[in-house]
Amino acid sequence: MLGGVLLLAFSLATLAHSQLCEKYHTNFIKVRISLKAALGSDAYTWNSDEEYLFQSMVAFAMRNNEIQSEYQASDVIICNVTKRVSFFFAVRNNTDNSTVSRSDIASAISKNRNRINSAFLLNDNTLQFVEIPPTLSPTTGSSSTSWLIVFGVVTGIIVIGIVFLIVSGIRQRKRNQRQPAGIEDSEVRMADAAVVGNGIYCDTLNVRGGETNEAYVQDKEALTSL
């Protein structure tokens, strides 16, 4: 008796579910999930618990997309589930039991794609919403990488500038040290030239001393007599 009641209840539930699938088939969206391709040996089994999580995530996406909406997991209808994990789903409006348009569902999925993928440890390639273009989530750390590149370039320019200033200062200091030495050497050479000329010391040719070569001096009396 109990078995018959359970069987009847199951049949009624199945019939009601099939009627819902038939009612909302015009706005169905197909989903393909590749667990083994994504997780390999760590792939989990797709079961009713995973279906409930999917319904909850879609309801969350709809709530997040529409202000003051109150979608529940039960408003997401899943139909024709296959063993290779593919199925159709639709969303009904809980206010009048009408079907939410496919474009509204697609908009909600696109805006919350990353959250949905993260819930199942999948990505756009392994959790495919057919007829909804994939929206790749931004790469984590891209901004920090760009900042690191900019920081590295700026730091490199600063280091090059510091090295240039140091090298320029060293060269200028060497030039300043060489210039007085050159002048001093020239002065020494000039002093030597004043002291020595053709191997004869200038002391013997000191004009300022008033020395006279007698050989070239004529007798003043002889000149007077002439």
Q: List pLDDT tens digits, range 84-123.
A: 899 999 999 878 888 899 999 999 999 999 999 999 999 9
Going by pLDDT thresholds of 50, 70 and 90, the confidence category of residue 9 is very low
Q: Which of the two residues, 194 and 169, has the higher pLDDT score?
A: 169
Rounded mean pLDDT, 158-171: 90
Read off the pTM: 0.55
Give residue 155's pLDDT: 92
Burial (0-12, 13-18, 19+ Cβ within 10 Å), 131: exposed
Percent of the chain with pLDDT over 90: 42
Give residue 91's pLDDT: 93
CB 132 within 8 A of CB 126: no
- Domain spans, the chain: 19-129, 142-216
Contacts of 88 (CB under 8 A, 6+ apart): 21, 25, 28, 29, 30, 31, 78, 79, 80
Q: Is 1 helix (H, G, I), strand (E, B) or coil?
A: coil
Residue 7 pLDDT greater than 50, yes or no = no
Closest alpha carbon to 120 in 62, 46, 48: 46
Give residue 213's pLDDT: 59
State how far the alpha carbon of 164 is from the alpha carbons of 120, 158, 161, 168, 221, in Å.
56, 10, 5, 6, 82
